[in-house]
């Protein structure tokens, strides 16, 4: 009890970072007691109750985790409070919690523990394509994985149910059929299957058979096949031949067994290590090749990576390999599985708008928006653009459908117009032109992408709340606390009345903010969203909302913002460190396939320092993550 009291006082006092001598309670009283002490328990939390808990009570550690998080995310004190700690004071609070409660020290190296994790369903399809040698495009045949920690590749939450394993079998059996069965009509698959049959000696050469199966296993398991595994697969083949299966039929059965093996479905190769450092084990070259490949390609390593790993030359060639991989078409997999999820637009094409809304977005337009964002991110990565371009670039990619939104003179072709009239597939759906938008168009990188603007709008009007929350979460890494359960949403009749009175949605929302339960969180979100009000739900620039002039002037945390471009400038200057840190955290989370721990923050801080220059480029960030301790090592000691 005494220890917790001392730590608590030290955290919120002026003190030496690593000392607790004569702690004072000035910061505690200044920032927290008004709302969380002496019988006041806003948000259901009071320090007096925390101090009564025994140190061994799990609720105590959980509460300290929450305190650390709200300090780190700048959720507390609320933004409408004038008394705010400096960044240095926040760091002091966090360092003390890390050291005294979590036993985490910033001068040490940390790496997470690796547990058995399966391929995500998207990775499974990509890995099958890599083994086969050409794209079967199996993604649509697999169920969507649940999102955890922002992404659909979190190994800590992906299990294998009997139903999912049946789907693996169905997909794999279909692929094996198309490769080896005489009834297959897939000419590319048949050609690849015939090549394998010939390489394996057509059932007449045991040596060639063993060599072919060894290559298959090594490719599928993403590491060298063991003698036991080779013998098992050869015996499996022999069993079918002895039961009057032809060479072709036996190979089909072997292929099925390899691609439904735990060593293919699970990331067992990540347990390979080549040296230790204290309680850390460095991933061996095959494990590194796998982690690198699933990071940049969301797929298995190709022959080049496997060859370098076999020669223990991958680490010394990491920089050139990263550049090669980003330049490959398979970077589209990363754009899809990282970029779309990071921006929260992975399902934007399914966004529904009410029929009466005059900017009703059709599915093909929404797909074009999604495609535009993917092409923009691919351009940023492959042209190795400065990170700032994500928030400042006026370059983008448009087709005829997006030309109207951007007010650019890009017309739909006659073929596209005819297809639209007849509700047929658009022949020019993937024909996009790179353009530099005029300054007057008010476009700034991801901040003004129509896909983002649409994903953060409501069915019939903009949403300053959603757009403000998007900026907080996606750009700044400062998510607001969850809304109280007993807060009533804005009612439909209020919106209808506002239209009759020619009130903008901003004016309606400002009335809603008068509710004291809502005020503090809305003070954090709404001003950022108000700066976006010149953008209609579909991303088109506007000057009026329901007949009322658009008001996009606002103030956030003491900074006056005169519309969207002021906001964009503020984000890329004053709040650039927040953006770099948030982008790094998201990319690190995705690259590791797990949620980040408090220990990972040490590596995050080191990477942010590397990326401190305004000229730092996106590939520099990828390299820094790949070279970080959490990426290159794993902690010894079993599962968490």
Q: Please tell me the predicted confidence (pLDDT) of residue 339.
A: 98
Query: Each residue of 266-288: pLDDT tens digit?
Result: 999 999 999 998 899 999 999 99
CA 271 to chain centre: 24
Q: Listing from the earlier edge strand, what are the strands of the sheet with 273-277?
A: 273-277, 280-283, 633-635
pLDDT of residue 2: 46
Q: DSSP characters for 276-292?
A: EETTEEEE-HHHHHHHH
Q: Is the pLDDT of residue 244 over 90?
A: yes
Q: For the full predicted model, state whether its pTM sits above 0.75.
A: yes
Distance, in Å, from the CA atom of 288 to the CA atom of 317, rounded to the nearest integer, reads: 12
Strand partners, 560: 555
Q: Which segments of 154-279 are extended strands (E)?
A: 273-277
pLDDT of residue 421: 66
pLDDT for 25 equals 40
**What is the rounded distance in angstroms from the CA atom of residue 279 to the CA atom of residue 418?**
65
Q: What's the average model confidence in pLDDT over 446-475?
A: 93
Cβ contact 158:229 at 8 Å: no
The Cα 620–Cα 616 span in angstroms is: 7
Residue 29's pLDDT band, with cuts at 50, 70 and 90, is: low
Most confident of 91-95, 97-101, 471-475: 471-475
Residue 445 has pLDDT above 80, yes or no: yes
pLDDT band at 3 (very low <50, low <70, confident <90, very high): very low
Q: What is the per-residue pLDDT across 606-637, written as a single tens digit (0 to 9) for each?
A: 999 999 888 899 999 999 999 999 999 999 87
pLDDT digits (tens, 9 = 90+) for 535-590: 999 899 999 988 889 999 999 988 999 999 999 999 999 999 999 999 999 999 99
Position 107 confidence tier, pLDDT thresholds 50, 70, 90: confident
- Using alpha carbons only, give the angle 228, 295, 151 rounded to the nearest 5 degrees: 110
Categorize the per-residue pLDDT at 235 as very low, low, confident or very high, splitting at 50, 70 and 90: very high
pLDDT at residue 7 above 60? Answer: no
pLDDT attached to residue 329: 96
Structure confidence at residue 572 (pLDDT)? 96
pLDDT tens, 170-220?
999 999 999 999 999 999 999 999 999 999 999 899 999 999 999 999 999
Q: What is the mean pLDDT of the chain?
A: 85
Residues in a beta bridge with 548:
545
Say what the pLDDT of residue 94 is. 77
> Looking at residue 358, what is its pLDDT?
42
Strand partners, 554: 561
374 sits in which H/E element: helix 363-382
pLDDT value of residue 11: 47
* Residue 480: per-residue pLDDT: 81
Confidence of residue 74 (pLDDT cuts 50, 70, 90): confident
490 vs 217 pLDDT, higher one: 217
Q: DSSP 3-state assignment of 296?
A: helix
Task: Read off the pLDDT band of 423 (50, 70, 90).
Answer: low
Q: Does residue 167 surpass a pLDDT of 50?
A: yes
Is 263:220 a contact under the CB 8 Å cutoff? yes
Q: Is the pLDDT of residue 354 over 60?
A: no
Q: How confident is the model at residue 430 (pLDDT cuts 50, 70, 90)?
A: confident
Q: What mean pLDDT comes out for the span 323-342?
A: 98
Using pLDDT thresholds of 50, 70 and 90, give the confidence band for residue 14.
Answer: very low
- Residue 288 near residue 634, CB atoms below 8 Å: no
Question: What's residue 361's pLDDT?
Answer: 44
Asked if residues 332 and 297 have their Cβ atoms less than 8 Å apart, the reply is no
- What pLDDT is attached to residue 396? 96
467 pLDDT band (50/70/90 cuts)? Answer: very high
Phi, psi of 184 (to 5 degrees): -65, 140
Model pLDDT for residues 496-533, shown as the tens digit of each residue: 665 666 666 666 666 656 666 666 677 888 899 999 99
Instruction: Give CA–CA dist 192/464, Å, rounded.
Output: 54
In the chain, what percentage of residues exceed pLDDT 70?
A: 83
Question: In Å, what is the CA distance from 281 to each residue of 101, 569, 632?
Answer: 25, 43, 9
Of 640 and 541, the structure prediction assigns the larger pLDDT to 541
Residue 484 pLDDT: 64
Predicted confidence band of residue 640 (pLDDT cuts 50, 70, 90)? very low
pLDDT at residue 136 above 90? no
Per the model's pLDDT, the better-predicted residue between 395 and 403 turns out to be 395
Average pLDDT over residues 395-404: 90
Rounded CA gap, 553 and 127, in Å? 50
pLDDT of residue 269: 93
């Amino acid at each position: 009890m005494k220890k917790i009291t001392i730590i608590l006082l030290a955290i919120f006092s002026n003190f030496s970072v690593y000392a607790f001598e004569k702690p004072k309670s000035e910061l505690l009283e200044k920032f927290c007691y008004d709302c969380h002490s002496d019988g006041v328990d806003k948000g259901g939390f009071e320090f007096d109750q925390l101090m009564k808990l025994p140190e061994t009570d799990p609720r105590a550690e959980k509460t300290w985790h929450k305190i650390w998080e709200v300090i780190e995310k700048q959720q507390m004190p609320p933004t409408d409070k004038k008394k705010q700690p400096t960044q240095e004071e926040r760091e002091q609070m966090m360092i003390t919690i890390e050291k005294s409660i979590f036993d985490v020290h910033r001068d040490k190296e940390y790496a997470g523990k690796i547990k058995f994790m399966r391929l995500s369903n998207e990775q499974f399809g990509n890995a099958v394509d890599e083994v086969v040698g050409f794209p079967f495009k199996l993604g649509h045949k697999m169920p969507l994985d649940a999102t955890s920690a922002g992404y659909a590749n979190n190994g800590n939450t992906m299990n294998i149910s009997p139903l999912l394993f049946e789907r693996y079998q169905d997909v794999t059996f279909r692929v094996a059929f198309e490769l080896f069965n005489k009834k297959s009509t897939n000419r590319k698959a048949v050609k690849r299957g015939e090549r394998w049959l010939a390489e394996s000696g057509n059932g007449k050469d045991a040596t060639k058979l063993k060599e072919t199966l060894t290559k298959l296993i090594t490719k599928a398991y993403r590491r060298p096949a063991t003698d036991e595994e080779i013998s098992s697969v050869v015996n499996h083949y022999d069993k079918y031949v002895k039961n009057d299966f032809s060479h072709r039929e036996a190979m089909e059965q072997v292929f099925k067994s390899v691609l439904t093996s735990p060593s293919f479905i699970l990331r067992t190769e990540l347990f390979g290590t080549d040296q230790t450092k204290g309680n850390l084990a460095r991933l061996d070259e095959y494990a590194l090749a796998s982690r690198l490949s699933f990071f940049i390609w969301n797929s298995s390593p190709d022959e080049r990576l496997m060859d370098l790993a076999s020669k223990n030359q991958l680490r010394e060639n990491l920089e050139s390999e990263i550049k090669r991989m980003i330049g490959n078409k398979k970077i589209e997999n990363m754009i899809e599985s990282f970029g779309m999820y990071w921006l929260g637009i992975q399902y934007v094409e399914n966004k529904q708008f009410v029929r009466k809304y005059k900017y009703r977005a059709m599915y093909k337009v929404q797909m074009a928006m999604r495609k535009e964002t993917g092409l923009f991110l691919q351009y940023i990565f492959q042209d190795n653009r400065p990170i700032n371009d994500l928030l400042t670039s006026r370059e983008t990619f448009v087709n005829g459908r997006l030309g109207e939104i951007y007010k650019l003179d890009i017309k739909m072709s006659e073929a596209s117009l005819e297809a639209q009239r007849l509700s047929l597939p658009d022949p020019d759906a993937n024909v996009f032109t790179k353009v530099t938008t005029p300054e007057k168009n008010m476009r700034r990188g991801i901040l003004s992408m129509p896909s983002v603007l649409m994903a953060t709008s409501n069915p019939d009007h903009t949403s300053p709340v959603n757009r403000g929350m998007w900026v907080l979460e996606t750009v700044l890494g400062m998510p607001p606390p969850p809304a109280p359960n007993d807060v009533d949403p804005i009612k439909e009749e209020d919106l209808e009345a506002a239209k009759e009175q020619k009130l903008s949605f901003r004016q309606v929302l400002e009335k809603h903010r008068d509710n004291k339960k809502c005020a503090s969180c809305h003070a954090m979100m709404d001003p950022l969203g108000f700066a976006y009000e010149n953008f209609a739900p579909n991303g088109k620039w506007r000057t009026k909302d329901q007949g009322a002039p658009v008001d996009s002037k606002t103030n956030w945390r003491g900074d006056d913002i005169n519309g969207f471009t002021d906001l964009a400038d503020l984000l890329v200057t004053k709040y650039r460190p927040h953006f770099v840190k948030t982008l790094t955290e998201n990319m690190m989370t995705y690259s590791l396939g797990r949620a980040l721990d408090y220990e990972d923050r040490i590596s995050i801080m080191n990477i942010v320092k590397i990326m401190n220059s305004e000229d730092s480029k996106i590939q520099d960030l990828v390299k820094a993550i790949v070279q970080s301790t959490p990426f290159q090592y794993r902690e010894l000691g079993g599962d968490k």
